[in-house]
Amino acid sequence: MNLSSLLEMQGELLLLMVVGYFLAEIGIIHKEGRKFLTSLVVNVILPCNIVKSFDVPFRQEILTLGGVMVAANLLVQGGSLLLGKLFYRNYADDQKKVLEYATVISNAGILGNPVAEGVFGSMGLLYASIYLIPQRIFMWSIGITFFTGEKGNWKKTLQKVVTHPCIVAVAVGMVLLMTPLTLPGFLGASVKAIANANTAMCMLLVGSLLGGVNFKGLINKDTVLFCFIRLFLIPGIALLLCKLTRMDELAAGVIVLLTAMPAASTTAVLSAQYGRDAALASRLVAISTILSVATAPLWCLVFAM
């Protein structure tokens, strides 16, 4: 793990986030613009970035470690769910659902790929893409029920998951990884060109989502408890388990780094959409995103030591 690369990467991410924030504050990126950016990132840029991540020579260890990454994410998802049930049991329902969702679903879905690629290179990007498969599925299936309170139509939910652009991109990437097939020259070049915009667009989006957030009262007992769990407790447990199981260093580094990501930006979007505590959701996203600029390099330093 290259700590200097991570610090440089975090500085770049912070600056891009600040630019996004000021663009929102001065009205260049308005409410509808944020919706457009979110749709563009999730449906176009991230899928291209995922496909690009699988453009590496196939090795058996990739398949083996890929299975380990998926299992690790399932364990993290389950453990985070239990932590949420334990720590937020005394909260009112509207607050509890927001806190539980933000604890289980991190912003690794958007931040994970650029951060993993910046620190660990192309293999880090590949492992991050595989690691995030269960989270993407959980996010658009069970995750929705945190806000609706209903199980809903599982057939429709399953259809939505399997047709999600990021899941489709993983399927396409696996085919490219495990077969001699490659994208034609102009198509491959176009996919890579879009993928290369991932870091800038993701951070401009995150920064713009902080625009309009009321920073008064940002730090209180609710946000402090959440940040402790999301940014310290979960990655700390992940680090301990990785060390105890003597996991491959690259895979372990990706896992620890991605578990240290802040609350997903969808926390605020879904809270507003389904009438939950949107103000609390915005504060959780804002404070955890700001703090993660410092805590992510800290976890990498601890991992390296």
For residue 204, tell me if it sits in a domain: no
The Cα–Cα gap between 39 and 124 comes to 25
Number of domains into which the chain is organized: 1
For residue 285, tell me if it sits in a domain: yes
The Cα–Cα gap between 275 and 291 comes to 27
**pLDDT at residue 271, rounded to an integer:** 80
Residue % of the chain over a pLDDT of 90 = 22
**pLDDT at residue 150, rounded to an integer:** 58
What are the backbone angles phi and psi of residue 277, rounded to the nearest 5°?
-75, 85
The Cα–Cα gap between 25 and 8 comes to 26
Arithmetic mean of pLDDT, 260-278: 80
For residue 298, tell me if it sits in a domain: yes
For residue 254, tell me if it sits in a domain: yes
Average pLDDT for the chain: 83
Checking if the pLDDT of 130 tops 70, the result is yes
For residue 32, tell me if it sits in a domain: no
How many Å is the maximal CA-CA distance in the chain?
A: 57
Domain of 130? 54-183+215-304
**pLDDT at residue 80, rounded to an integer:** 93
The Cα–Cα gap between 123 and 101 comes to 29
Arithmetic mean of pLDDT, 151-163: 67
The burial class, CB within 10 Å (0-12 / 13-18 / 19+), for 163 is exposed
**pLDDT at residue 2, rounded to an integer:** 59
The Cα–Cα gap between 27 and 4 comes to 35
**pLDDT at residue 31, rounded to an integer:** 79
- What would the pLDDT profile of 69-115 be if each residue is shown by its tens digit? 999 999 999 999 999 999 999 998 889 999 999 999 998 877 777 77
For residue 46, tell me if it sits in a domain: no
For residue 274, tell me if it sits in a domain: yes
Checking if the pLDDT of 1 tops 60, the result is no
Checking if the pLDDT of 231 tops 90, the result is yes
- Name the nearest CA neighbour of 203 among 281, 278, 112, 139: 112
For residue 275, tell me if it sits in a domain: yes
**Amino acid identity, position 262:** P
**pLDDT at residue 228, rounded to an integer:** 96
- What would the pLDDT profile of 173-193 be if each residue is shown by its tens digit? 888 877 888 888 889 899 989
The Cα–Cα gap between 272 and 268 comes to 6
The answer to whether 222 touches 99, Cβ cutoff 8 Å, is yes
- Name the nearest CA neighbour of 267 among 104, 150, 42: 104
Instruction: Give pTM, 2 decimals.
Output: 0.77
